[in-house]
Amino acid sequence: MDGYNHKGTDKIIRKDESGRKKIIDADLVLDKKSRNALLQWFQHVKRDMPWRQTGDPYLIWLSEVMLQQTRVDQARPYFERFVNRFPDVFTLSRAHIDEVLLLWEGLGYYSRAHNLHKAAKQIVQRHHGVFPACYDELITLQGIGPYTASAIMSIAWSRPYAVVDGNVTRVISRLFAIGEDIRKNSVQKYITKKAEALLDRSCPGDFNQAMMELGAIICRPSSPKCSSCPLQNKCTAYLRNETSLYPWKSPIKKRPHYQIAAGVVRDRYGRLLIAKRPEKAMLGGLWEFPGGKQKPGESLSDTVRRELREELDVDVSVESEPFEVIRHTYSHFSITLHAFFATIQNGTPRARNGEPFRWIKEKELDNYAFPKANRKITDTLVKYHSK
């Protein structure tokens, strides 16, 4: 499928199965009846979510950030715990980043937590703790881009800004039968333009949420429930029996896979050695058992020895076999993490890269935020100890 914008028109050109180009009329406009049908459907089926019970821009902001790359059922308990601990922007701004990361642990994409913390400080310092009600001010805050700013403006203050997330992108790609790769910037801009044209400006917050809900529970990536869709008679893809063709994405490259080895070191008091990841690195600010990526021709146990020497300036002995092996997938790569018991033979730990390290008791493990793969190691350690 090879589609592209047809210059000089508001149309999309797509090649059909025979290779012939088809011009897709993209001038769809939702009339008042169709908009009302969507809004009525939303009021009838919308899921009960804690962030839908408030007009507080702070809480709406938290929910929108948490829902990026995260399912509703995953985000809900995090949202509730987060709000219970940080009920307003002042408490969040005063918190230590370690506490913020600990509450965020397991939700992934930890840059979101860092950005929330930094933006909270900006709101307190620049706006005296009053959440800015201006789009141009919102997007100057750390981590707030067009999507999040539009969501806050429309939901909190009923301003006419269209929201385009993955769900809305899918809905619009089917409504207009957009045959281009939705990852392309030009196509994203085109979809945003269409979302703005469709927006019900009399109730933009509800309309945006209705579009997102439609994509989440009806216009699903596979097996969409078209028979229950309030926009069925407006959907080009449905009318052509082509819903399976949209949205279209170009094939992605295969994720690389890395072998990682980590050393679990105890001292003579039974304490465990943990190190903090650099703030600007992936998973920045989280704690981990020291280790790293295996080099070509290197055994995994040698990886542990090298990493401990490079990171903490100590020589260690390493058991021949790992006590835990964990596979984990990130957005752009995957790893197999091999955890080895290790013992310091020479030297006293010192942070050669400037990042903190600590000796902690096993019962203190839950007080530190770990990446998901490392947390599985801590769980195994607790099970070992309880036997």
Which residues are marked as active site? 64
Structure-token pair, residue 104: 């965020």
Query: Cα 199–204–208 angle (5° rounding)?
Result: 75
- Residue 24: which residues within 8 A CB-CB, separation 6 or more? 3, 11, 12, 13, 14, 176, 177, 178, 179, 236
Of residues 178, 161, 221, 205, the one with CA closest to residue 42: 205
Give the C-alpha separation, 97 to 318, whole Å.
Answer: 33
Give the C-alpha separation, 282 to 292, whole Å.
Answer: 13
Give the C-alpha separation, 347 to 151, whole Å.
Answer: 54
Q: Classify burial at 8, counting beta carbons within 10 Å of its beta carbon; exposed 0-12, middle 13-18, buried 19 or more.
A: exposed
Question: How many CB atoms neighbour CB 241 within 10 A?
Answer: 9
Give the C-alpha separation, 200 to 145, whole Å.
Answer: 22
Are 186 and 3 in contact, with CB atoms under 8 Å apart? no
Are 90 and 129 in contact, with CB atoms under 8 Å apart? yes
Identify whether 247 is preceded by a cis peptide bond (ω within 30 of 0).
Answer: yes
- Residue 95: which residues within 8 A CB-CB, separation 6 or more? 85, 86, 117
Are 89 and 189 in contact, with CB atoms under 8 Å apart? no
Give the C-alpha separation, 121 to 89, whole Å.
Answer: 8
For residue 187, is it left (φ>0), alpha (ψ between -120 and 50) or beta?
alpha
Residues in a beta bridge with 318:
342
Give the C-alpha separation, 283 to 84, whole Å.
Answer: 24
